[in-house]
Amino acid sequence: MRLAETCFASLETFKPPSHVGLTMSADPQTPLTAQSILGLDVLFSNPVFAGGIGLAGLGAAAAFARRGVISGAALLKRQMLVNIEVSKRDPAYNWVLAWLAQPRDNSGFLARRITRLRNLSVTTSTKSIEKAAGGGGEGGRTHADFRVQPGFGRHIIRHRPGVYIAVNREKASTTSTATGEPHETLTLTLLWQHRNVIAEVFTEAHALAQRFHEGKTIVYAARRMEWAPLGKPRLKRPLGSVILDEGVKERIVDDVKEFLAAQQWYTDRGVPYRRGYLLYGPPGTGKTSFIQALAGELDYSVAMINLSEIGITDDLLAQLLTQLPEKSILLLEDVDAALVNRRQRDADGYSGGTVTFSGLLNALDGLAAGEDRIAFLTTNHIDRLDPALIRPGRVDMMVRIGEATPYQAAQMWDRYYGDIDLDGAGREKFLKRLQELGLFGDSQDPDVPKRHTSTAAIQGLFQFNKGDMEGAIKMAEGLIPRTFEPESSSPESMIKSPA
């Protein structure tokens, strides 16, 4: 008994060594191993685990901070900046590019550092200069104008002291179906407090374009689904350079100007604001030339549509007529030839015009017809036109531009030789010669045939005899219309080629 008590006392006084690392459970029901695994103090006391937790926390904090900075920057950008995007399909695109190409005052430390254009593009325009009188050499010289403008990329320009504009010119991956050119966009970025500068930019750009096109007429042509300038703007043709019969030109010009001044009258009465004109007569009498001169007189452009062009359908015609360029005259030439019956498909795949007669009528005066439009139709054969096409509402005025009359011949003579034929003797001699040849068609002499000539033929005669009145009078017989016989189809005159 004493031996057992001694053993129990020894067990009570026994303590395990400190290096064993065992933790005794306070709860006698909890296993020792489970308490060791679930104990968080063991995990946090492990330096590897504690370091990983620290790195993960730092990474999460950095990610949240980065996201916060990005969101804050985006919010700040939305609040402080304003962006204006201009597509190449918009007319203002070329205006703004030309405005950006203007020289600017970049004096100052900040302006010199941040307004350097490194990506540039060049637009070149050329024109011929007549050879000086008495000068040697062949032909005249060619003058070239080079306009340097910002190329693709990002740029910063100085509009005025303290106002800077960021420019981003980008080329898209998509292309235009009409021309195959890639789409382009121009983005202007300014501070929100300078947003009123946007109006100044577009106003100055438009004024610059107006000065560039001053004295010129823009001719547009249909390119699939849109209008595109046909070549470079042309010099305005003076209205006085087109000689029509007495009173004809004035009557048309007065009617067009009266129509332009009566827009409110049309609106108040609910009448569609459009006007149609038909100019008919033989070729070379000045129909198209008069329309071009009228556009210059009104400061309008000319929008032409070839109804016989492959791909022009009724729907496309209606869309083009509702999207005419601003301040433009619509020109449909030779409408009689465009509406002939369709023929069988040729070897080249062409089977005639694709615009139907009903489609043309609807485009001119139907539900799909646009307003605020001046339309001119021309034809050499008015007898081939359907009465439905030339009824009032579609054609409001029909004017015949006929053969040359004595009045026109006299006016053209004064225009070409008025500076040297001071007493008018040469003019009377020329008119008498044309009368003898029967070119005015009003001769009462049965021995003189009744012929006609055109103003285009008289103009060609005068241009061939610049400053030579006697030469023009002697060559007046060349104004007699010629009749060409078909060439012989004999085997000797044919060019044979192997099959």
End-to-end CA distance of the chain: 140
190 and 87 in a single domain? The answer is: yes
C-alpha to C-alpha distances, 49 to 37, 52, 238, 281, 480, nearest whole angstrom: 14, 5, 92, 100, 110
52 SS3 class: helix
154 and 303 in a single domain? The answer is: no
Q: How many CB atoms lie within 10 A of CB 447?
A: 6
Does the pTM exceed 0.85?
A: no
Number of structural domains the chain divides into: 3
290 and 202 in a single domain? The answer is: no
261 and 388 in a single domain? The answer is: yes
Instruction: Report yes or no on 228 lying in a domain.
Output: no
Instruction: Report yes or no on 7 lying in a domain.
Output: no
Domain boundary among 382, 400, 418: 400
Q: Which pLDDT score, from 0 to 100, does residue 376 have? A: 95
- What are the helix and strand counts (H, E) for the chain? 17, 15
Taking alpha carbons only, the member of 285, 275, 399, 365 closest to residue 329 is 275
Instruction: Report yes or no on 166 lying in a domain.
Output: yes
- Helices marked H in 82-161: 92-100, 109-114
**Phi and psi of 159, rounded to 5°?**
-80, -45
269 and 391 in a single domain? The answer is: yes
Q: How far apart are CA 316 and CA 237, in angstroms?
A: 31
Q: Which pLDDT score, from 0 to 100, does residue 82 have? A: 85
Q: Tell me the residue range of the domain where 307 lies.
A: 234-400
Domain boundary among 339, 374, 400: 400
244 and 389 in a single domain? The answer is: yes
321 and 433 in a single domain? The answer is: no
For β-strands 226-229 and 153-160, DSSP reports them as unpaired
**Region label for 374, one of left (φ > 0), alpha (ψ between -120 and 50) or beta (otherwise):** beta
Q: Which pLDDT score, from 0 to 100, does residue 42 have? A: 63
199 and 244 in a single domain? The answer is: no
Q: In what order do the strands lie in the sheet with 219-223?
A: 226-229, 219-223, 301-305, 328-332, 373-379, 274-280, 397-400
Q: Which pLDDT score, from 0 to 100, does residue 342 have? A: 45
Instruction: Report yes or no on 15 lying in a domain.
Output: no
290 and 375 in a single domain? The answer is: yes
Q: How far apart are CA 252 and CA 245, in angstroms?
A: 12
Instruction: Report yes or no on 468 lying in a domain.
Output: yes
Residue 440: CA count within 13 A, CB half-sphere = 18
360 and 425 in a single domain? The answer is: no
C-alpha to C-alpha distances, 101 to 152, 205, 210, 212, 240, nearest whole angstrom: 13, 11, 16, 13, 37
- The pLDDT profile of the chain, 499 residues, written as one tens digit per residue, is 454 455 444 445 445 554 444 444 444 444 544 445 555 566 567 676 666 777 787 888 888 888 888 877 776 666 678 888 888 878 788 888 888 888 777 777 777 777 766 677 777 777 666 544 444 444 557 777 777 777 888 888 888 888 888 888 888 777 665 556 678 888 888 888 888 888 888 888 888 888 887 888 999 988 877 888 888 888 899 998 999 999 999 999 999 999 999 999 999 998 889 999 999 999 989 999 999 999 999 999 999 988 877 778 888 888 888 888 888 999 998 888 766 544 444 555 445 557 888 888 888 887 767 788 999 999 998 988 888 888 888 899 999 999 999 999 999 999 999 999 999 999 999 999 998 888 887 666 666 677 889 999 999 999 999 989 999 999 998 888 877 666 655 555 444 444 4
Domain boundary among 340, 368, 400: 400
Instruction: Report yes or no on 493 lying in a domain.
Output: no
C-alpha to C-alpha distances, 107 to 156, 188, 201, nearest whole angstrom: 14, 22, 20
- Report the amino acid identity of residue 57: G
Helix, strand, coil % (nearest 5) of the chain?
40, 20, 40
Instruction: Report yes or no on 32 lying in a domain.
Output: no
296 and 323 in a single domain? The answer is: yes
185 and 292 in a single domain? The answer is: no
Instruction: Report yes or no on 31 lying in a domain.
Output: no
Q: Which pLDDT score, from 0 to 100, does residue 485 have? A: 63
